[in-house]
């Protein structure tokens, strides 16, 4: 556990990446495994993740990210796109996956499926959009922790024009919306922010134990 805390102490929101350094296939797969294994409400994972290394696409996305250099200097750009809406079929697809993975008859999951549908399907689309967007942040948290654990730098980013991202990546027609992004790679020696002392609330101010 101490190694995990040490990794979190080591990480910071990297502002300048060394563009000459790229993740190995194993490093990238470790991070993507962590994203795949992320918790989500009901286990539905109502999002899709784009892992972008193509320079031309990233240049277009940089223009939609207020010119922030991490978009193009990092090894990879990861875009978490939440489902803007969903219906019973999405729950059914999930239950089919559960049945196949756990070797269960699908009808044994009907009660659970009906429970999920009764709670989720009637929601207005704007609430569905908010709910699914929140799920992407759980996956983002796993990405940041996993990257730190293998000494890969990352920067979570909300500073971008989601509508432009949606146009560039063709997300709208897929009922997806760019929710949050992360850049991953290796810090530049010239990134002064790596030397800043980490600032967090004290435990006394942050936690209340009852």
Please write the tens of the pLDDT for every residue from 46-64.
999 999 999 999 999 999 9
pLDDT digits (tens, 9 = 90+) for 121-164: 999 999 999 999 999 999 999 999 999 999 999 999 999 999 99
Q: What is the mean pLDDT of residues 83-102?
A: 97
* Whether the Cβ atoms of residue 137 and residue 180 lie closer than 8 Å to each other: yes
Report helix angle 88-102 to 110-120, nearest 10: 150
* Whether the Cβ atoms of residue 63 and residue 157 lie closer than 8 Å to each other: no
pLDDT(2) > 90: no
Enumerate domains of the chain plus CATH numbers: 10-86+121-206 (3.40.109.10)
Report the predicted TM-score, pTM, of the whole model to 2 decimal places. Answer: 0.96
Rounded to the nearest angstrom, the gap between the alpha carbon of residue 177 and the centroid of all alpha carbons in its chain is 13
């Amino acid at each position: 556990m101490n190694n995990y805390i040490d990794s979190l102490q080591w990480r910071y929101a990297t502002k300048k990446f060394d563009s000459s350094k790229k993740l190995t296939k194993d490093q990238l797969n470790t991070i993507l495994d962590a994203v795949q294994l992320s918790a989500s409400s009901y286990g539905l994972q109502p999002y899709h993740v784009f892992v972008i290394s193509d320079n031309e696409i990233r240049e277009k996305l940089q223009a939609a990210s207020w010119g922030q250099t991490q978009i193009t200097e990092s090894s990879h750009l990861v875009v978490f796109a939440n489902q803007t809406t969903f219906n019973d079929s999405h729950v059914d697809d999930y239950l089919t996956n559960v049945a196949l993975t756990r070797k269960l008859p699908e009808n044994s999951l009907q009660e659970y499926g009906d429970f999920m549908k009764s709670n989720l399907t009637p929601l207005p689309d704007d609430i569905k959009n908010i709910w699914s967007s929140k799920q992407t942040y759980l996956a983002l948290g796993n990405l940041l922790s996993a990257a730190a654990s293998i000494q890969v730098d990352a920067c979570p980013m909300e500073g971008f024009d989601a509508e432009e991202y949606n146009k560039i990546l063709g997300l709208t027609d897929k009922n997806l919306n760019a929710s949050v992004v992360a850049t991953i790679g290796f810090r530049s020696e010239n990134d002064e922010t790596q030397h800043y002392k980490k600032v967090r609330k004290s435990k006394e101010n942050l936690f209340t134990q009852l």
